[in-house]
Amino acid sequence: MRGGKREGAGRKKGSRNRRSVQAYIAAEAGGELPLDHMLSIMRSKSKDIDDERRDRMAIAAAPYLHAKLSNVTMDQDADIDLSKLSDDQLERAIELRRALERCLRGTDADEESGDTHH
């Protein structure tokens, strides 16, 4: 049998090729890996590291730790039977709706409560 998709054939999803494995081993042998370094700076309690640098490290490390959110479209005409939701689910839905409205207006909860110092 030639060509076509065969069950179990090929590299397993998420597996690393030889070159990336070798690069990882070499980096690890040299000491702290770049991501570990960024996280250690971000989490450091040292007064010598300013908040701006911590923020830059958090931004640089984020793509390696958190998946990117995809665009989501919402059908605003969708009918939701609210009678089937529990009280907790209704309360959460209200909180989410308020948060969405704040985002769309460009405000956050601290501004609404009068707390302007960050």
Between the ranges 5-9, 35-39, 42-46, where is the mean pLDDT highest? Answer: 42-46
pLDDT in tens, 74-113: 666 667 787 888 888 888 888 888 888 888 887 654 455 5
pTM: 0.40
Alpha-carbon torsion angle 85, 89, 90, 95, nearest 10: -160
Kindly report, residue by residue over 47-70, the tens digit of the pLDDT. 999 999 999 999 999 988 887 777
